[in-house]
Structure 1
Amino acid sequence: MNNIPHLSILLGISRDVTGRKQAERQLQFQARVLSQVDDAVIAIDTGGRITYMNRAAERLYDTSWSEALGRLDSELFTYQWINPDDERNAWDALRSSGTWRGVVLHRKKGGEVIFVDETVSTLNDADGRSTRMLCSLRDVTAQRRAEKELRIKDMAIASSPSAFTIPGLNGRLTYVNQAFLSMWDYTSPSEVVGKPVKELWHDGKEAMTILQTLLETGRYTGERVGRRRDGSTFYTMFSGNVVTNDAGVPIGLAASLTDITDQKQAEAEVQAHNRALSVLNQIIGVSTSATDIDEVLESVLAGTLTLLDLAGGGIYLIEPGKQRARLVCTQGLPEGFPKQPCIPDITLAPYAASPLPGGGRWNTASVRQHPDYSAREDRRCPERGPA
């Protein structure tokens, strides 16, 4: 120092900047973290101007940090509140707690509207004054659309006139719609959910066999007989399939059911009607070709037994007085079956009081008289005899 001319004193000042350097490194680290997170992050000062934007925000709003820095956030997007009170509630929450979260609509500068799950926090200085807001933003448009589609599907299934159920792979019900409850005569899903499917069918063992077939083949369709809560049965058309996830792994079952009881009854009535017509045609054919009354009676009785699906029976003819009737023809009666050759009074019980099919009752006009038989003295009932 003695070599420096005119220098008598050297004054040096030093300052410890360790804390500042550490703070800078911390800020740099935080900036790197924010730049790599999937959610968009934007910092806005009290004037509404952008002071920071990470890469996810650049992608979301189709801009760059350099272009957005210092610009108003409204130049990137504008808010559209979903509910009328949302904006007021958001500001109230920020003033009271310093943070708010909700779903809002953002209209981007290109006109596209997106759903955004937004979390806003206020940043304060050392004196506790709010200096800026930090916004974390996530585009949930696809999620909201998927939720809407699911709600529509749920409403469609719930209000469908066809019964619908979702059993688990273990064969226990996890969901039923209102039509299912009505079909099985239940009032609440809680009465059904958790039940094994076999309890809802007339044949529980067969139901478990069908369940196994469904699990093995992935699909089953067929007519089944259901059993209501009160034990009554009904016919249903069952169509079920295995539900799989995106990887093709079974995660549950789904089934739709339609009550076909009326259809089955109508089919049975048509079959019975066709059968009756066939038998009547046979009777008419035999009657027109028969040579005597005995052959006619035999053919009529045979046709009637076939029509009623009976093993045996007989025909009584009413005598002219319309009070007595005589047995004139029998078929298929077992050996030893007690026959009553004569009914002395058909106006008495049980003949007069016995109901006829369709709601009518037997009377003296219920059996047609035949003059060939009523004219034969040897075929009439005796004048006196046991009742």
Structure 2
Amino acid sequence: MRSEPPEGRDALRAKIIGLGEASLHKNYYPELQSRLAELERFRALLDQTYDAIFLIRAKTGKLADVNAAVRAYLGHSKKELLATSFADLISPQQKAGFVEFIRKKSDLQSESRQTCTASLISREGTEIPMEITVRSVTFGGEQYLVAIARDIADRVRTERELRIKETALESSTNGILIADLSGAVIYANRSFASMFGYGEDGAVTERNLEAFFADPTVGETITGHLLDDHAIMQETIGLRNNGSPFHIQVSGSVVQNDAGQPLCIMLIVMDITGRILTDQMKRETYAQLGKNIEQFAILGDHIRNPLQVIVGYAEMIDDPLAEKILEQSRRIDEIITELDRGWVESANVRQFLRKHGDGTEPSVQAFLHSWK
């Protein structure tokens, strides 16, 4: 001011431009430098994270800022990204749903966090599945959205593999059961539930293994054996929900973690009732076949006995017809001999019996051996 003495004006001027002991520059510059250094550290921290961070203008949807992870994931420069709408980075198939999600988020005018899943498109056109958390914030009177995107490609791949494995378990025609180390069932597929007469898969869970065997101690024995040897295969009698027994084959193992520690028990169960009945029928058939062969041999002897008597009498008769009787008697004997040879030496019968020798009754085998 003109009314002020010259020395006062010089002091004020020195204070403004940073000269003098009480200058504004000397009062605020150190604090400004400190704030700038803090912002630089924060920016460096954000750039070190693997999460992609987007600052989005709520009104336009344009990007206001991004961290280094965004550029690494998408392959765009920062200049290109700041000229882009965030929605344009979303997969075309998911864009409409994500825009609606952002619109609702902007209308909330709150700082609550919401999460969705969407794929970002890189410069090369690769889709990167992301879990995106969005939060509404306000800076200097302007509303922004902060979107933090986390790469979930590994998780998506793992979930897909788990779904494939679960589908394979569910579609298996064999019964599959998983129990904890105490024998309590924690999972059973549809085939197991159907095989044992349970209407729903859930009706099997929380039961113990002993509930599925006619002999309750079998479940405990199987559990103990698996924990000792880690594998088992045996045939036993299963017990349906209605109490009816049936033949089953059980194979199982212990599921272990990477450290080799047991996690749970998995059993694969097959209904072998049909096979057991077939084997039983084979044994009965072989036994009956042996009896039939033996019976034919006995019948041959029974026919030969009276035939010998006829031959003896015919030889004592002095009559031209006696030779006819002897001739026919020899033919009968040859037929009986051929029958014996046909039943015992027939290649088809012997080959059939050899092929199913495990199911042939001992008496049949001994009988055939005696005729060799």
If the TM-score is normalised by the length of the shorter chain, which range does it land in?
0.5 to 0.7
Show the 5 A alignment for 1:104-119.
104-119=118-133
Q: Higher mean Cα deviation, 265-274 or 81-90? A: 81-90
Show the 5 A alignment for 1:87-166.
87-98=99-110, 99-127=113-141, 129-130=142-143, 132-166=144-178
1:41 Cα offset (Å): 1.4
Please report the RMSD computed on the Cα atoms of aligned residues, expressed in angstroms. 3.0
d(CA) in 1 for partners of 2:96, 2:173: 37
1:161 Cα offset (Å): 2.1
Show the 5 A alignment for 1:263-282.
263-282=275-294
Instruction: State which of 237, 243, 252 in structure 1 corresponds to 2:255.
Output: 243
Show the 5 A alignment for 1:208-247.
208-247=220-259
More relative contact order, 1 or 2 (CA 8 Å, 6+ apart): 2
Mapped contact 1:103–1:115 kept (Cα < 8 A) = yes
Q: SS where residue 234 of structure 1 aligns?
A: strand
Compared CA separation, residues 166 and 62, structure 1 to 2 (3 A): same
Q: SS where residue 111 of structure 1 aligns?
A: coil
Q: Residue 195 of structure 1 corresponds to which residue in structure 2?
A: 207
Show the 5 A alignment for 1:234-383.
234-290=246-302
Q: Higher mean Cα deviation, 45-54 or 240-249? A: 45-54
Per-residue CA deviations over 1:79-119 (Å, capped at 9, x if unaligned) read: 43548544313311222145542111211111111111112
Compared CA separation, residues 226 and 189, structure 1 to 2 (3 A): same
d(CA) in 2 for partners of 1:88, 1:51: 20
Mapped contact 2:63–2:86 kept (Cα < 8 A) = no
Q: Residue 52 of structure 1 corresponds to which residue in structure 2?
A: 65
TM-score by length of 2: 0.67
d(CA) in 1 for partners of 2:224, 2:286: 39
Compared CA separation, residues 234 and 187, structure 1 to 2 (3 A): same
Compared CA separation, residues 267 and 69, structure 1 to 2 (3 A): closer
Q: Higher mean Cα deviation, 13-22 or 157-166? A: 13-22
For structure 2, the 5+ residue unaligned runs are 1-5, 17-22, 307-372
Mapped contact 1:50–1:68 kept (Cα < 8 A) = no
Q: SS where residue 57 of structure 1 aligns?
A: helix
TM-score by length of 1: 0.65
* Identity %, equivalent residues: 22
Compared CA separation, residues 200 and 97, structure 1 to 2 (3 A): farther
Show the 5 A alignment for 1:22-101.
23-24=35-36, 26-45=38-57, 50-63=63-76, 65=78, 70-72=82-84, 77-82=89-94, 85-98=97-110, 99-101=113-115
For structure 1, the 5+ residue unaligned runs are 1-5, 294-387
Mapped contact 1:80–1:105 kept (Cα < 8 A) = no
Q: Residue 353 of structure 1 corresponds to which residue in structure 2?
A: none
The number of residue pairs the alignment matches comes to 285
Q: Higher mean Cα deviation, 33-42 or 236-245? A: 33-42
Greater fraction helix = 2
Greater fraction strand = 1
Per-residue CA deviations over 1:174-227 (Å, capped at 9, x if unaligned) read: 001111111111112333211111221122223322222222222112222101
